[in-house]
Amino acid sequence: MDNCQGSHHDLMHLTKVHALARLIGQMEGLDSRTQEILEAAALIHDIACPALRKRLGKAPWDLQELEGPPLAEEAMRFSGFDQDAINRVSFLVAHHHQWDKVDGMDYQILLEADFLVNAQEKQVEHERARRVAAGMFKTQSGLALLDLYYPTVT
């Protein structure tokens, strides 16, 4: 994980996404294997960002998804994960901005946690955050957190 060394924003982002993903996964009652994969993906979903910023001055989402999986595979292998977990986390890293490809709870929860953190970090306007998330959030726990962070204004 040397790619994150020295990048306070990246480390804080990954920590916040992991915390929310962990919470949502636990609230949704994920089995231990899916929870483990979700948490690993949450910790490294943006693994390509520091290198991209260093090289390009920015980290476009399409390049994050292209360059992240090999880095994720290396980190997962180094950490002792089995090949099935490595493959799944690599898939999640390769698609973590794509809401139209969701194929499991780990994927859905990663997207919801990342959205909540990104909206907070980018200071997305209240109504816009609710409007964008409304059609994308599927978990009861993610929806509850959305309501907590962005309550409906009546």
Domain 2-149 adopts which CATH fold? Hypothetical protein af1432 (1.10.3210)
Q: Of 95, 100, 93, 9, which is closest to residue 46 (Cα–Cα)?
A: 93
pTM over cut 0.75: yes
- Residue 154's pLDDT is 61
- Residue 134's pLDDT is 86
Q: Which residues of the chain are under the pLDDT cut of 50? A: 1-5
- Residue 8's pLDDT is 82
* Domain extents in the chain: 2-149
- Residue 104's pLDDT is 97
In order of 42, 81, 86, 118, the CA distances from 5 in angstroms are: 17, 22, 22, 20
- Residue 4's pLDDT is 46
- Residue 39's pLDDT is 98
Q: Can you read off the two tokens belonging to residue 22?
A: 């962990």
Q: Of 110, 92, 97, 84, which is closest to residue 21 (Cα–Cα)?
A: 110
- Which amino acid is present at 69? P
